[in-house]
Amino acid sequence: MILSKSFGYALRSIIYMALMNDTKRNVQLQEISDELSVPHHFLGKVMKRLAKNGVVDSTKGRTGGFMLNEHTLSIPLKELIILIEGDALFNSCVIGFKKCNEKNPCPLHYQIVEARNKMISTYAETKIGDLIIPNKAELLKSLLAA
Amino acid sequence: MILSKSFGYALRSIIYMALMNDTKRNVQLQEISDELSVPHHFLGKVMKRLAKNGVVDSTKGRTGGFMLNEHTLSIPLKELIILIEGDALFNSCVIGFKKCNEKNPCPLHYQIVEARNKMISTYAETKIGDLIIPNKAELLKSLLAA
DNA sequence: ATATAAAAAGACATCGTTGTCTTTTGTGAG
DNA sequence: CTCACAAAAGACAACGATGTCTTTTTATAT
């Protein structure tokens, strides 16, 4: 597993909300954690982070919950990854060398640079919205498969 | 950082031993941990694992130490990674779905499959010995850079 | 034989991620 | 205005990766 659980929770939650947007104004934590089989309070922390950083909107109180905003689906996966788990995946050496670059390459540097760049550009170019396929049934199924 | 520290320690140790093979029959843990600035006892556990699995040879006692064998340098990185940190990098879904495949893809599956396969084939095709460049000075420098 | 020194092994500490539980804050329903 | 209820916040537990320290095993130099 390359990406963190937290990121997986965040991504699935956003996609779930996108699916539910047709029928509901907002979606509550309870519903998301129930549907995606994710720990309620842990997801709460993840969603709080998303809300604080404008990835989603949130309201408290009796009819509170989370909702997507105009930016949400155009956010690149790379940005979401960095928001949730930091930029180590993109900025640090594969084997953790502090100073690893062209001038001072780690033993693996040149061998993996191509695959690494491919991965980075994939995450940079793919937006969350790109994951929303037209087939809603299949998409929903893919969210629950965990 | 994608790969574990343990793997980095293992890889660097093996390359270091390859460099020293010209002059010494075996290399002791103390020397490796000193040269690579790696915790002595933690590295001991990593090396023990390598020795137990035939990646390197080891002898105890007064003149003991570790040495490469005829297989060491032809081992693919993928094999070494799996030996040290398991096969999660290669066999589990990027966001940790238990059942993620063509029939039951996670939301990210199709978007990252190309980059993922590129990474997997790189690690599968690159052997440890491929990292041993002729320029010994530069290679040694790259080992210590951490 | 005995002492020495090295790998091997095992107990325990630290730290980040993940997960649980409780308390606080804020908002709309009534 | 007050209550109900949801997000927000914070304390703490579980777990794996990493790291430290001590003890055991084993080979060999003397």
Interface of A with B in 39-98 (CB under 8 A): 77, 88-89, 92-98
Average pLDDT, chain B: 94
- Indicate the range of A96-100, B56-60, B137-141 predicted with least confidence: A96-100
Any A CB within 8 A of B104 CB: yes
Give the residue-averaged pLDDT of B3-23. 92
Report pLDDT for A23: 63
Residues A97, A106 contacting (CB under 8 angstroms): yes
pTM confidence score? 0.94
**Angstrom distance (rounded) from CA B40 to CA A62:** 57
Q: Measured between alpha carbons, how far is A7 from A85 in angstroms, rounded to an integer?
A: 7
Q: Is the pLDDT of residue B124 over 70?
A: yes
For the cut 80, the answer to whether the pLDDT of residue B25 exceeds it is no
Closest CA to A122 of B107, B116, B2: B116
CB A11 within 8 A of CB B108: yes
> Residue A97: what pLDDT?
86
pLDDT at B144 over 90: no
**Are A75 and A51 contacting, i.e. CB atoms less than 8 angstroms apart?**
no
**pLDDT beyond 70 at B20:** yes
All residues of chain A having their beta carbon less than 8 Å from the beta carbon of residue B92 are 1
Measured CA to C1', what is the nucleotide nearest A60?
D7
Inter-residue contact A94 to B3 (CB < 8 Å): yes
Arithmetic mean of pLDDT, B123-131:
97
Neighbouring residues of B28: CB distance < 8 A, sequence distance ≥ 6: B64, B65, B66
- What number is the average pLDDT over the span B32-49? 97
Partners of B57 in the β-ladder: B67
E-only strand ranges, chain A: 56-59, 65-68
Average pLDDT for consecutive 10-residue bins of chain A (146 residues)? 95 96 83 97 98 97 95 97 96 87 90 96 97 92 83
Q: Which residue has the higher pLDDT, B56 or B96?
A: B56
C-beta separation of B130 from A126 below 8 A: no
C-alpha distance from residue A122 to each of A47, A96, B112 (Å) = 24, 22, 7
Higher pLDDT, B23 or B81: B81
Do residue B107 and residue A5 have CB atoms under 8 angstroms apart? no
Q: Which nt is closest to the CA of B3, judged by C1'?
A: D17
The pLDDT, as a whole number, for residue B23 is 64
Identify the pLDDT of residue B140.
Answer: 92
Give me the pLDDT at residue B22, please. Answer: 65
